[in-house]
Amino acid sequence: IAGFSEIAGRLPAVQLAEFLNRHFAMLAGCIEDEEGTVDKYIGDSVMAFWGAPTLQPDHALRACRAALAIAKTLRADNDRRSEKGLRPVRVRIGIHSGIAVVGNVGAPGRINYTLIGDDVNIAQRLEQLAKDFDPGNGETVVLLSAETAKEIGEGFELETVGSHLLRGQSEPIEAFRLL
């Protein structure tokens, strides 16, 4: 959630938890409708993946459809918020296709089924890069890597945003905005 610290600063803890729970329920519904796995909630963020534990050759299509569904759902929710005089909730999404290790990770007594690897980091860095393309009007910004763009083919409207050297990468990553 873009600007989450400011939201957290004005809401009492109970209302903040209610806000997050409502928000996460909307996002999880869009992800699960595309048979994605909600991996975890990290503060004001959600991490999801496709392709495990069951192989999904169309994982990139599913992730992009989920992102567009999230944008549509948030647009409708922001219309509702506007009618109540509330500010829009802005979200950024990063999508990358690649190889990750998926399985139980952690210490005895606290194991999580999750995914790890450099390709997971690239998705998170794309989400961070999306901040540079956020118009600030409540529009959801979705950035995907060239790898994901190749996977989805021609069924989506994309706009190139250039190549960017993402933190932790030695080579620039070509990115596209999903419209």
- What digits encode the pLDDT tens for the residues 1-60? 998 999 999 999 999 999 999 999 999 999 999 999 999 999 899 999 999 999 999 999
CB–CB of 67/34 below 8 Å? no
Predicted local distance difference test score (pLDDT) of residue 1: 92
Gap between the Cα atoms of 72 and 139, Å rounded: 9
Gap between the Cα atoms of 124 and 102, Å rounded: 16
What is the rounded average pLDDT of the residues 157-162?
Answer: 97
pLDDT at 138 over 90: no
Question: Could you write out the DSSP letters of every residue in 84-126?
Answer: TTPPPPB-EEEE-----EEEEEEETTEEEEEEESHHHHHHHHH
Question: CB-based contacts of 64: which residues, under 8 Å, 6+ apart?
Answer: 95, 142, 144, 148, 152, 156, 178
The structure tokens listed for 21 are 């729970």
- What digits encode the pLDDT tens for the residues 141-150? 999 999 999 9
Question: 153 pLDDT band (50/70/90 cuts)?
Answer: confident
Question: 151 pLDDT band (50/70/90 cuts)?
Answer: very high
DSSP-derived 3-state class of residue 159: strand
Predicted local distance difference test score (pLDDT) of residue 141: 97
- What digits encode the pLDDT tens for the residues 47-102? 999 999 999 999 999 999 999 999 999 999 999 999 999 989 999 999 999 999 99
pLDDT at 137 over 90: no
